[in-house]
Homo-oligomer: A and B are copies of this chain.
Amino acid sequence: MKIRRSDRLIDMTNFLLDHPRELVALPFFVKRYGSAKSSISEDLVIIKRAFKAQGLGVVRTLPGAAGGVEYLPGISEPLARDFLELMAEKMADSNRLLPGGYLYLSDLLGTPNYLKIIGRLIAAQYSEEKVDAVMTVATKGIPIAQSTANYLGVPFVVARRDPKITEGATVSVNYVSGSSDRVQKMELSKRSLSDGANVVIVDDFMKGGGTIHGMHDLIKEFNAHLVGITVFAETAFSGKRAVQDYTSLLEVTEINTQTDQILVQPGNYLEKLQLITTAENAD
Protein backbone atom coordinates (compact mmCIF):
# COMPACT_ATOMS: atom_id res chain seq x y z
CA MET A 1 0.00 0.00 0.00
CA LYS A 2 1.27 3.42 -0.98
CA ILE A 3 1.33 6.00 1.77
CA ARG A 4 0.79 9.72 1.30
CA ARG A 5 3.63 12.18 1.81
CA SER A 6 2.01 13.82 4.83
CA ASP A 7 1.67 10.46 6.60
CA ARG A 8 5.21 9.51 5.63
CA LEU A 9 6.59 12.73 7.07
CA ILE A 10 4.88 12.14 10.41
CA ASP A 11 5.96 8.52 10.55
CA MET A 12 9.55 9.31 9.56
CA THR A 13 9.73 12.06 12.17
CA ASN A 14 8.56 9.62 14.81
CA PHE A 15 10.94 6.97 13.58
CA LEU A 16 14.02 9.20 13.51
CA LEU A 17 13.27 10.62 16.97
CA ASP A 18 12.97 7.07 18.27
CA HIS A 19 16.24 5.92 16.67
CA PRO A 20 18.87 8.57 17.40
CA ARG A 21 22.35 8.13 15.89
CA GLU A 22 21.21 5.10 13.94
CA LEU A 23 22.09 5.08 10.25
CA VAL A 24 18.93 4.04 8.42
CA ALA A 25 19.38 2.95 4.81
CA LEU A 26 16.91 4.55 2.40
CA PRO A 27 15.60 1.17 1.11
CA PHE A 28 14.18 0.67 4.63
CA PHE A 29 11.82 3.60 4.12
CA VAL A 30 11.19 2.66 0.46
CA LYS A 31 9.88 -0.68 1.66
CA ARG A 32 8.07 0.72 4.72
CA TYR A 33 6.00 3.13 2.63
CA GLY A 34 5.93 1.46 -0.78
CA SER A 35 7.27 4.73 -2.21
CA ALA A 36 9.95 5.55 -4.76
CA LYS A 37 13.45 6.35 -3.52
CA SER A 38 13.19 9.81 -5.09
CA SER A 39 10.07 10.54 -3.00
CA ILE A 40 11.86 9.44 0.18
CA SER A 41 14.78 11.70 -0.68
CA GLU A 42 12.40 14.64 -1.12
CA ASP A 43 10.77 13.81 2.23
CA LEU A 44 14.17 13.91 3.88
CA VAL A 45 14.90 17.37 2.49
CA ILE A 46 11.72 18.61 4.16
CA ILE A 47 12.49 16.81 7.42
CA LYS A 48 16.03 18.20 7.50
CA ARG A 49 14.72 21.72 7.08
CA ALA A 50 12.02 21.36 9.76
CA PHE A 51 14.40 19.79 12.32
CA LYS A 52 16.93 22.54 11.68
CA ALA A 53 14.28 25.22 12.20
CA GLN A 54 13.35 23.66 15.54
CA GLY A 55 16.95 23.65 16.76
CA LEU A 56 16.65 20.09 18.04
CA GLY A 57 19.59 18.56 16.26
CA VAL A 58 20.67 17.57 12.81
CA VAL A 59 19.22 15.13 10.27
CA ARG A 60 22.12 14.05 8.11
CA THR A 61 22.06 12.05 4.88
CA LEU A 62 25.11 10.07 3.85
CA PRO A 63 25.40 9.20 0.16
CA GLY A 64 26.46 5.93 -1.41
CA ALA A 65 25.69 2.26 -1.01
CA ALA A 66 26.56 2.27 2.70
CA GLY A 67 24.69 5.55 3.16
CA GLY A 68 21.35 6.50 4.59
CA VAL A 69 19.94 8.97 7.02
CA GLU A 70 20.65 9.56 10.69
CA TYR A 71 19.32 11.87 13.35
CA LEU A 72 21.86 13.45 15.70
CA PRO A 73 19.98 14.92 18.67
CA GLY A 74 21.20 18.32 19.72
CA ILE A 75 20.07 21.72 20.73
CA SER A 76 20.65 25.17 19.26
CA GLU A 77 22.83 27.63 21.15
CA PRO A 78 19.93 30.04 21.96
CA LEU A 79 17.75 27.20 23.32
CA ALA A 80 20.69 25.89 25.36
CA ARG A 81 21.38 29.34 26.80
CA ASP A 82 17.72 29.96 27.67
CA PHE A 83 17.45 26.62 29.42
CA LEU A 84 20.65 27.03 31.45
CA GLU A 85 19.60 30.49 32.53
CA LEU A 86 16.21 29.15 33.59
CA MET A 87 17.89 26.37 35.59
CA ALA A 88 20.33 28.82 37.20
CA GLU A 89 17.43 30.99 38.28
CA LYS A 90 15.48 28.05 39.71
CA MET A 91 18.54 26.70 41.54
CA ALA A 92 19.22 30.08 43.14
CA ASP A 93 15.88 29.94 44.99
CA SER A 94 16.79 30.23 48.68
CA ASN A 95 14.07 27.69 49.58
CA ARG A 96 16.42 25.05 48.22
CA LEU A 97 18.96 25.65 50.94
CA LEU A 98 19.31 22.70 53.32
CA PRO A 99 21.25 22.46 56.59
CA GLY A 100 24.97 22.12 55.89
CA GLY A 101 24.77 24.25 52.77
CA TYR A 102 23.31 21.50 50.56
CA LEU A 103 20.80 22.21 47.82
CA TYR A 104 17.50 20.41 47.25
CA LEU A 105 17.39 19.53 43.56
CA SER A 106 15.23 16.39 43.42
CA ASP A 107 12.32 18.31 41.92
CA LEU A 108 14.39 19.58 38.99
CA LEU A 109 16.05 16.21 38.41
CA GLY A 110 12.67 14.48 38.68
CA THR A 111 10.99 16.51 35.94
CA PRO A 112 11.05 14.68 32.58
CA ASN A 113 10.81 17.92 30.55
CA TYR A 114 14.01 19.22 32.15
CA LEU A 115 15.73 15.85 31.95
CA LYS A 116 15.00 15.67 28.25
CA ILE A 117 16.81 18.95 27.63
CA ILE A 118 19.67 17.97 29.96
CA GLY A 119 20.04 14.74 27.99
CA ARG A 120 20.01 16.61 24.68
CA LEU A 121 22.61 19.10 25.91
CA ILE A 122 24.97 16.37 27.03
CA ALA A 123 24.41 14.15 23.97
CA ALA A 124 25.03 17.10 21.63
CA GLN A 125 28.59 17.34 22.93
CA TYR A 126 29.41 13.83 21.82
CA SER A 127 27.48 13.76 18.55
CA GLU A 128 30.66 13.22 16.51
CA GLU A 129 32.22 10.71 18.90
CA LYS A 130 31.83 6.97 19.08
CA VAL A 131 29.96 6.18 22.31
CA ASP A 132 28.96 2.71 23.54
CA ALA A 133 27.62 3.45 27.01
CA VAL A 134 26.87 6.17 29.55
CA MET A 135 28.03 5.61 33.11
CA THR A 136 26.98 7.15 36.39
CA VAL A 137 26.91 6.27 40.10
CA ALA A 138 23.69 5.66 42.05
CA THR A 139 21.41 7.42 42.88
CA LYS A 140 21.01 11.00 41.70
CA GLY A 141 22.98 10.58 38.52
CA ILE A 142 20.66 7.87 37.16
CA PRO A 143 17.99 10.10 35.56
CA ILE A 144 20.70 12.17 33.86
CA ALA A 145 22.41 9.02 32.57
CA GLN A 146 19.12 7.62 31.31
CA SER A 147 18.22 10.75 29.39
CA THR A 148 21.71 11.14 27.93
CA ALA A 149 21.80 7.48 26.91
CA ASN A 150 18.40 7.91 25.29
CA TYR A 151 19.63 10.68 22.99
CA LEU A 152 22.90 8.88 22.30
CA GLY A 153 21.02 5.67 21.48
CA VAL A 154 23.17 3.56 23.84
CA PRO A 155 22.68 1.77 27.19
CA PHE A 156 23.58 3.28 30.56
CA VAL A 157 25.33 1.53 33.44
CA VAL A 158 25.17 2.38 37.14
CA ALA A 159 28.03 2.00 39.61
CA ARG A 160 26.96 1.52 43.22
CA ARG A 161 28.32 2.29 46.64
CA ASP A 162 26.13 -0.46 48.12
CA PRO A 163 26.27 -3.31 45.62
CA LYS A 164 23.24 -5.54 45.44
CA ILE A 165 23.00 -9.27 45.12
CA THR A 166 21.19 -8.73 41.80
CA GLU A 167 24.34 -7.38 40.12
CA GLY A 168 26.30 -10.62 40.13
CA ALA A 169 30.09 -10.44 40.12
CA THR A 170 31.43 -6.89 40.32
CA VAL A 171 34.64 -4.95 39.85
CA SER A 172 35.32 -2.42 42.58
CA VAL A 173 37.58 0.58 43.09
CA ASN A 174 38.32 2.77 46.05
CA TYR A 175 37.95 6.51 45.75
CA VAL A 176 38.32 9.56 47.93
CA SER A 177 35.26 11.70 48.20
CA GLY A 178 36.78 15.16 47.91
CA SER A 179 34.28 16.82 50.18
CA SER A 180 34.78 14.41 53.10
CA ASP A 181 38.30 13.03 52.50
CA ARG A 182 36.85 9.62 53.29
CA VAL A 183 37.92 6.57 51.30
CA GLN A 184 34.89 4.83 49.84
CA LYS A 185 34.26 1.97 47.47
CA MET A 186 32.17 1.79 44.34
CA GLU A 187 31.37 -1.29 42.32
CA LEU A 188 30.13 -2.05 38.86
CA SER A 189 28.72 -5.33 37.63
CA LYS A 190 31.23 -7.23 35.50
CA ARG A 191 28.54 -7.71 32.89
CA SER A 192 27.98 -3.96 32.51
CA LEU A 193 30.75 -2.94 30.13
CA SER A 194 32.49 -4.80 27.38
CA ASP A 195 36.21 -4.61 26.71
CA GLY A 196 37.17 -1.43 24.84
CA ALA A 197 33.79 0.23 25.27
CA ASN A 198 33.68 4.01 24.77
CA VAL A 199 32.10 5.56 27.84
CA VAL A 200 30.64 8.96 28.71
CA ILE A 201 30.54 9.71 32.46
CA VAL A 202 27.72 11.86 33.86
CA ASP A 203 26.71 12.86 37.39
CA ASP A 204 24.51 15.38 39.13
CA PHE A 205 27.05 17.29 41.21
CA MET A 206 30.80 17.71 41.31
CA LYS A 207 32.75 19.30 44.10
CA GLY A 208 36.24 17.84 44.48
CA GLY A 209 35.75 15.42 41.59
CA GLY A 210 36.67 12.36 43.68
CA THR A 211 33.56 10.41 42.73
CA ILE A 212 34.07 11.14 39.04
CA HIS A 213 37.70 10.12 39.37
CA GLY A 214 36.51 6.83 40.90
CA MET A 215 34.29 6.22 37.88
CA HIS A 216 37.23 6.93 35.59
CA ASP A 217 39.26 4.33 37.52
CA LEU A 218 36.42 1.85 37.09
CA ILE A 219 36.44 2.45 33.34
CA LYS A 220 40.16 1.65 33.27
CA GLU A 221 39.55 -1.58 35.18
CA PHE A 222 37.20 -2.61 32.38
CA ASN A 223 39.77 -1.71 29.69
CA ALA A 224 37.23 0.79 28.47
CA HIS A 225 37.85 4.30 27.11
CA LEU A 226 36.69 7.59 28.55
CA VAL A 227 35.00 9.76 25.92
CA GLY A 228 34.13 12.65 28.20
CA ILE A 229 32.72 13.81 31.53
CA THR A 230 29.69 16.05 32.03
CA VAL A 231 28.09 17.04 35.33
CA PHE A 232 24.79 18.82 35.85
CA ALA A 233 26.37 21.26 38.32
CA GLU A 234 29.81 22.01 39.70
CA THR A 235 30.35 23.88 42.93
CA ALA A 236 33.18 26.08 44.06
CA PHE A 237 36.05 24.00 45.46
CA SER A 238 39.13 25.26 47.20
CA GLY A 239 42.02 23.05 46.22
CA LYS A 240 42.98 20.96 43.26
CA ARG A 241 40.14 18.96 41.71
CA ALA A 242 40.71 15.24 41.09
CA VAL A 243 39.38 15.78 37.57
CA GLN A 244 40.50 18.55 35.22
CA ASP A 245 38.77 18.03 31.92
CA TYR A 246 35.00 18.09 32.31
CA THR A 247 31.92 19.95 31.22
CA SER A 248 29.43 21.48 33.65
CA LEU A 249 25.97 22.64 32.64
CA LEU A 250 25.75 24.89 35.70
CA GLU A 251 28.10 26.36 38.26
CA VAL A 252 27.14 27.11 41.84
CA THR A 253 29.53 29.92 42.66
CA GLU A 254 28.36 30.64 46.19
CA ILE A 255 26.17 29.18 48.91
CA ASN A 256 25.92 31.51 51.86
CA THR A 257 24.09 29.92 54.77
CA GLN A 258 24.24 33.19 56.74
CA THR A 259 22.40 35.30 54.20
CA ASP A 260 20.54 32.39 52.54
CA GLN A 261 22.04 33.45 49.26
CA ILE A 262 22.75 31.03 46.43
CA LEU A 263 24.58 32.19 43.32
CA VAL A 264 24.31 30.05 40.22
CA GLN A 265 25.39 30.68 36.64
CA PRO A 266 25.69 28.59 33.47
CA GLY A 267 28.77 26.34 33.64
CA ASN A 268 31.46 25.92 30.99
CA TYR A 269 29.03 24.10 28.67
CA LEU A 270 28.32 27.09 26.45
CA GLU A 271 32.03 27.83 25.95
CA LYS A 272 32.63 24.20 24.98
CA LEU A 273 29.64 24.27 22.62
CA GLN A 274 31.12 27.30 20.90
CA LEU A 275 34.43 25.49 20.49
CA ILE A 276 32.61 22.59 18.83
CA THR A 277 30.63 24.87 16.53
CA THR A 278 33.71 26.85 15.55
CA ALA A 279 35.64 23.68 14.75
CA GLU A 280 32.75 22.51 12.56
CA ASN A 281 32.66 25.75 10.63
CA ALA A 282 36.40 25.57 10.03
CA ASP A 283 35.99 22.32 8.08
Contacts and interface: CB of A to CB of B under 8 A. Distances in A.
A127 interface: no
B138 A139 contact: yes
Interface in A1-23: 5-7, 9-11, 13-14, 17-18
A164 B105 CA distance: 12
Contacts of A17: 14, 17
Contacts of A105: 166
Contacts of A27: none
A207 B49 CA distance: 51
Interface of A: 5-7, 9-11, 13-14, 17-18, 46-47, 49-51, 53-54, 56, 98-100, 102-107, 110-113, 115-116, 138-140, 142-143, 146-147, 149-150, 153-158, 160, 162, 164-168, 189, 191-192
15 contacts: A6-B50, A7-B50, A10-B46, A98-B168, A104-B168, A106-B192, A110-B149, A110-B156, A110-B157, A112-B146, A113-B153, A115-B146, A138-B139, A146-B146, A162-B162
Q: Which 3 A-B pairs have the closest CB atoms?
A: A10-B50, A112-B150, A13-B13
